[in-house]
Chains A and B, each alone.
Chain A
Amino acid sequence: MILLENVSKSFKNGVHALRDVNLYIEEGEFVYIIGPTGSGKSTLIKLLDGELIPTTGRVVVAGTDVGNLRHSRVPLYRRNIGVIFQDYRLLPELTVFENIAFALQVIGMDKVTIRHRVREVLELVSLEDKAKSFPRELSGGQQQRATIGRAIANQPRVLIADEPTGNLDPEKSQEIMGLLEKINLEENTTILMVTHDANLVDMNKKRTIALEEGFVVADIQKGGYIRHD
């Protein structure tokens, strides 16, 4: 489902964010990407999302060569993947309901189906009572859940989550984890989750890929947070 072949990414300012990364993630897998700040996690996500083009190598997601997409084709590609952004990226002038509905409107879904699906999603992320609120009226956790709702609304085949529990307390984090696991199991959605949260990784063991200085330093099937002293 996700394939990275000899992927390197360097920036004009001389920073090498990723160096010769090779990864293969199967359909339906749930994978953690861990690593300290500046290890290349965000760059990896931007490569998968099509926001960045790899300097060398190939990024293939769901059969699409992401780095080779024309500018105008990028949004079409993104309809197959859902991204949960660390900074939420909700449209400030739209309510929670409208934000989630927007992701469905852009793919040309009809009104009745949209309304139905948004209700469903709001229930899933427990935001039914916030449907008419604007993002600025929500707490961090609520905004987080709104972006999760938007990301999963059109049932993407791949879900990329950038620190989805970064702003939440442990209890809420567990709740989000449960939600993601449910999506992973029920919809067979491939999930790639970037996280800092050692407890979470230890408690919900899954395949874990560790990045450091742009290299993949570990790829452990049984999971668990990697600590080195």
Chain B
Amino acid sequence: MIKALRLLPFHVRSAVQGLRRHSTTAFSAVSAVSMTLILMSLFMLLTGNISSFTRNIESDFRIHVSIDALQDEAGIDSLQKQIQDVPGVKTVTFSSKDEELYKLKEENEEIFGMYEEGDANPLRDVFIIETQTPDDIESVTTAVNEMDGINKAEYGGDGVSVMISFFKALRNGGFIFVGALSLLAVFLISNTIKMTIYARSTEIGIMRNVGATNWFIRVPFIIEGLIIGLIGSLIPVTLTYFGYSYLYHVLGGHFLTSMFVMQKVNPFASIICLTLVGCGMLVGMVGSFLAVSKYLRWKR
């Protein structure tokens, strides 16, 4: 290990030398890395935002429970406790009928302006329930409806849940796609690097001839792969970061309607950039490793 560390500067130097002396092939490998990473970045941006849209809509998704008008304060308190104990319930908030009317008036003064607070208020006191996951909504609603002292518990309806499941499918599909794309990237890049190294297979043979061990031969190539990955990720990273922050500012932070809130530039774009750099380097290293190992096996 100590010997390996002592040799590291030598390996780095020979890697840089190898890149300089094979600059054309290195350039093609760098371009392959860049192209794949740009594609990957696009899909990550898309998937990340869809997942943000879904989360936003999900968080807007609440159960509205109207309380029987005959319940007194103590009854309401015990109901609130009862609801809190239903599995899947995150928060239960009480909102009096006057507060409800006030909210309605804020939304539409013309229609609701004629109603007055106090005894003439036709509305009922309500609980607003947030569930832990959207999947709990149905079961919680059913459970609350069966309780005494509840007039009615309802939620946004099937339309919203269909949209949520659609977005979820889209997001999961996106994740799978990004995964597949990463695999494709490894394959593509390892192939390009394989071609780069093919030109040097005699070189590898000669190294073995003069007594270089397999790892001694591999390390400079792996470092070369790492550098290729790093350089190849520069353009995608720049495009991703500045492109996304431009888009974010032009669109004002949401897509089409205010319901679709975009991911903030920080940390979202920064995380993607780091992922791209990491992927580029990792894929470059793995690609080189696979390629050299293949040629090492050819020569005894």
Interface check A71, CB cutoff 8 A = yes
Tell me whether A106 and B210 are in contact in the complex, defined as CB-CB below 8 angstroms, given that A71-B297, A74-B300 are known contacts: yes
Assess the B213–A106 pair: CB atoms within 8 A.
yes
Interface check A75, CB cutoff 8 A = yes
1/0 contact string of B223-248 vs chain A (CB within 8 Å): 00000000000000000000000000
1/0 contact string of B1-32 vs chain A (CB within 8 Å): 00100010010000001100110000000000
Which of chain B's residues have a CB closer than 8 A to the CB of A105? 10
Interface check B216, CB cutoff 8 A = yes
Tell me whether A85 and B21 are in contact in the complex, defined as CB-CB below 8 angstroms, given that A52-B300, A71-B300, A74-B300 are known contacts: no
Interface check A137, CB cutoff 8 A = no
Which of A31-39, A87-95, A115-123, A194-202 is found at the contact surface with chain B?
A: A87-95
Would you list which residues of chain B between 244 and 300 have a CB under 8 Å from chain A?
A: 296-297, 299-300
Interface check A72, CB cutoff 8 A = yes
Assess the B300–A50 pair: CB atoms within 8 A.
yes
Which of chain B's residues have a CB closer than 8 A to the CB of A154? 211
Assess the B18–A106 pair: CB atoms within 8 A.
no
Assess the A150–B210 pair: CB atoms within 8 A.
yes
CA distance A76 to B296 in the complex (A): 15
Which of B133-141, B147-155, B200-208 is found at the contact surface with chain A?
A: B200-208
1/0 contact string of A15-54 vs chain B (CB within 8 Å): 0000000000000000000000000000000000111110
Closest to A105 in B: B10
Closest to B299 in A: A51
Which of chain A's residues have a CB closer than 8 A to the CB of B3? 108
Tell me whether A72 and B210 are in contact in the complex, defined as CB-CB below 8 angstroms, given that A51-B300, A93-B21, A105-B10 are known contacts: no
Which of chain A's residues have a CB closer than 8 A to the CB of B206? 89-91
**Total count of chain A residues near the partner, CB < 8 A:** 27
Assess the B207–A83 pair: CB atoms within 8 A.
no
Interface check B212, CB cutoff 8 A = yes
Assess the B213–A83 pair: CB atoms within 8 A.
no
A85 to chain B, nearest CB (A): 7
Which of chain A's residues have a CB closer than 8 A to the CB of B10? 105
Q: Please report whether the interface of chain B is mostly helix, strand, loop or mixed according to DSSP.
A: helix
Which of chain B's residues have a CB closer than 8 A to the CB of A91? 203, 206-207
Assess the A103–B300 pair: CB atoms within 8 A.
no
CA distance A83 to B208 in the complex (A): 12
Contact of B216 among A49, A50, A90, A106 (CB under 8 A): A106
Interface check A215, CB cutoff 8 A = no
Which of chain B's residues have a CB closer than 8 A to the CB of A52? 300
CA distance A72 to B297 in the complex (A): 10
CA distance A150 to B211 in the complex (A): 11
1/0 contact string of A128-152 vs chain B (CB within 8 Å): 0000000000000000000000100
CA distance A50 to B209 in the complex (A): 9
CA distance A50 to B211 in the complex (A): 11
CA distance A92 to B206 in the complex (A): 10
Contact of A76 among B7, B18, B211 (CB under 8 A): B211
Which of chain B's residues have a CB closer than 8 A to the CB of A93? 17-18, 21-22, 203
Which of chain B's residues have a CB closer than 8 A to the CB of A92? 203
Tell me whether A72 and B216 are in contact in the complex, defined as CB-CB below 8 angstroms, given that A52-B300, A90-B206, A93-B18 are known contacts: no
Tell me whether A106 and B21 are in contact in the complex, defined as CB-CB below 8 angstroms, given that A51-B300, A90-B206 are known contacts: no
A95 to chain B, nearest CB (A): 11
Which of chain A's residues have a CB closer than 8 A to the CB of B205? 89
Interface check B214, CB cutoff 8 A = yes
Contact of B209 among A53, A89, A107 (CB under 8 A): A89
B178 to chain A, nearest CB (A): 37
CA distance A85 to B207 in the complex (A): 13
Closest to B214 in A: A72
Which of chain A's residues have a CB closer than 8 A to the CB of B208? 74-75, 78
Q: Provide a sorted-by-A list of 11 A–B residue pairs whose CB atoms are within 8 angstroms.
A: A51-B300, A71-B214, A72-B214, A83-B209, A89-B205, A90-B206, A91-B203, A92-B203, A93-B22, A103-B210, A106-B213
The 9 closest A-B pairs by CB, nearest first: A79-B211, A106-B212, A103-B210, A78-B211, A93-B21, A89-B206, A75-B211, A75-B213, A106-B211
